[in-house]
Amino acid sequence: MMRPEILLFGDSITQQSFRPGGWGAALADSYSRKVSLFLTVNANQEMLADVKVRGYGGYNTRWALFLLQHLFPLDSKKPPAAATIFFGANDAAVLGRTGERQHVPVEEYKENLRKIVLHLKECSPTILIVLITPPPVDEDGRNEFAQSLYGKDASGLPERTNEVTGVYAKKCIELAEEMGLRSINLWSAMQETEGWQKKFLSDGLHLTPEGNAVVHQQVVKVFSEAWLSAAEMPYDFPHHSEIDGKNPEKAFQQRCM
Amino acid sequence: MMRPEILLFGDSITQQSFRPGGWGAALADSYSRKVSLFLTVNANQEMLADVKVRGYGGYNTRWALFLLQHLFPLDSKKPPAAATIFFGANDAAVLGRTGERQHVPVEEYKENLRKIVLHLKECSPTILIVLITPPPVDEDGRNEFAQSLYGKDASGLPERTNEVTGVYAKKCIELAEEMGLRSINLWSAMQETEGWQKKFLSDGLHLTPEGNAVVHQQVVKVFSEAWLSAAEMPYDFPHHSEIDGKNPEKAFQQRCM
């Protein structure tokens, strides 16, 4: 019995994904008790399932590279079956403004993402990788947020702009196409909805519960289009209604072998 | 670097704990990026952290026993560091009513819980186990729920009663005391709040977001009183504000060794 382990690697939008309404928790719920028939392993081996969050608030891809060897050692006996890689919101911080320290040039962003992908593929050659672009930026929302923090000292110039972040999103999708990976263009997808600025973003950058729902739906969709469809995966053990109260052994003999 | 793996084993109240506002997701968020200094391991070994949900809706302790060898094989190389065991809501279904099939006599419930504890301790001798009693039952809420499902065919007699569930809660606490385990008397704790029936329970049995918050707070409290205090545990890697944009290596040299 194989439970696919799903890794979520990213920045604060991944780190916060287990807060109420978060997309990571929703994903864990979608795949709860689900097992994969496509992965064959020694049936006696313990197979961890589950959604594993590795979200690092404020991190860009340059800093994420320092974590790779620690988080995903090449000799791991249980590498993830699937992963989302969700960076760029910090890389796209604009030079010369308050988030400058986090800025990574867009070409380097792309190459760093490539290194992350190659490392995960080295850990786990059959891994299903989904690249997610940063969400769009609501510059008014960022300014309001900065003023709530710094009052009059806020510079008035947003440290991230929607246009610049869009350039990073494009590079992310470009890399996915080059490497034959699946991807989610969150930057574009969210902007298709009227009022996305407040509907999907809480402070111009992070996700509202509705924004989290978009990510959840998109990840479930892309996983399903690959081989990781929660709807098609069987449950690990019988549903309680299938258990005969007087002869419970029977249900477990059929399903636990 | 050791990430303690926290196992949540139980029935639907555990299975649903990653839904919006759920206590399992909140726990995963509380322990996100946290590592334990108390557990020493080979620093080169990959240590999975994280909250692992093993919730089986509708299951009683008798049926849970069938899962033990599969979910927690004795030869596991990464047994959980801590676990919540949260059964009883189904065991306490009243004989002669619609949930009869799920009923387990209270003495057997206690012995089944003991078997679960002993099995987990055999997997992991140092495991921190917390027994959680079932929540109280709002019989009016159960009746309303039955009527919403079955209309006039609903029997009018609740399939679970608060009094009977209280007997199971008492047995659960009794076992915890006998075995020197920590426990949470959710049945009592929730009833201390005025209006607990609708405030904490959505259908007389399952938890509202407020009810989930009670479980989350209690589990965090009990874990903290033992050695698993999220507040005292260090983060796995530097906070992004500690990273020097011009010399990022430095922050990682100090923290990743």
Choose the closest CB to B66 out of A75, A102, A256. Answer: A256
Interface test with A, best of B1, B12, B14, B237 (most A CBs within 10 A): B237
User: Phi first, then psi: what are they for B93, rounded to 5°?
Assistant: -60, 140
Does residue A159 belong to any structural domain of this protein? yes
Interface test with B, best of A212, A237, A239 (most B CBs within 10 A): A237
Please state, in angstroms and rounded to a whole number, the distance separating the CA atoms of residues A16 and A187: 18
> What secondary structure does DSSP assign to B186-236, as a single string?
HHHHHHTSTTHHHHTBSSSSSBPHHHHHHHHHHHHHHHHHTT--TTTSPBS
pLDDT given at position A16: 96
Does residue B74 belong to any structural domain of this protein? yes
pLDDT above 50 (res B66): yes
Give the residue-averaged pLDDT of B31-36: 83
Contact B58 A245 (CB under 8 A): no
Please state, in angstroms and rounded to a whole number, the distance separating the CA atoms of residues A17 and A219: 13
pLDDT above 60 (res A172): yes
Contact B240 A78 (CB under 8 A): no
Please list, residue by residue across A145-184, b when 16 or more beta carbons sit within 10 angstroms of its beta carbon and e when fewer do.
Answer: bbeeeeeeebeeebbbbbebbbebbbbbbebbeeeebbbb
B105 reaches A (C-beta below 8 A): no
* B63's tokens: 């049926």
Q: Considering chain A, what is the average pLDDT of its residues?
A: 89
| B256 contacts on A by Cβ (under 8 Å) | 66-67, 70
In the structure, what pLDDT confidence band is assigned to residue A38 with cuts at 50, 70 and 90?
low
Give the residue-averaged pLDDT of A56-85: 91
Residue with tokens 């019988």, as numbered in its chain: A238
pLDDT above 60 (res B181): yes
pLDDT given at position A1: 53
Which tens digits make up the pLDDT trace of B150-178? 887 776 778 899 999 999 999 999 999 99
In the structure, what pLDDT confidence band is assigned to residue A230 with cuts at 50, 70 and 90?
confident
A227 reaches B (C-beta below 8 A): no
For chain A, report the end-to-end CA distance as a whole number of angstroms.
9
pLDDT given at position B48: 38
Does residue A1 belong to any structural domain of this protein? no
pLDDT over 90, % of chain A: 67
Does residue B13 belong to any structural domain of this protein? yes
| B13 contacts on A by Cβ (under 8 Å) | none
pLDDT given at position B56: 96
Contact A70 B33 (CB under 8 A): no
> What secondary structure does DSSP assign to B49-63, as a single string?
-SEEEEE-TT--HHH
Give the residue-averaged pLDDT of A67-74: 90
A96 reaches B (C-beta below 8 A): no
Contact A52 B50 (CB under 8 A): yes
Domains held by chain B: number? 1
pLDDT over 70, % of chain B: 91
pLDDT given at position A48: 38
How many cross-chain Cβ pairs, A to B, lie less than 8 Å apart? 141
Q: Which region among A66-80, B116-130, B206-220 has the lowest average model confidence (pLDDT)?
A: A66-80
CATH code, A90: 3.40.50.1110
Residues of A classed as catalytic: 12
In the structure, what pLDDT confidence band is assigned to residue B215 with cuts at 50, 70 and 90?
very high
pLDDT above 90 (res B254): no
B20 reaches A (C-beta below 8 A): yes
Q: Which helix (H) or strand (E) holds B249?
A: helix B248-255
A62 reaches B (C-beta below 8 A): yes
How many beta carbons lie within 10 A of that of residue B164, not counting itself? 18
Please list, residue by residue across A206-242, b when 16 or more beta carbons sit within 10 angstroms of its beta carbon and e when fewer do.
Answer: bbeebbbbbbbebbbebbeeebbebeebeebbbebee
**Whole domain around residue B120: which residue ranges?**
6-255
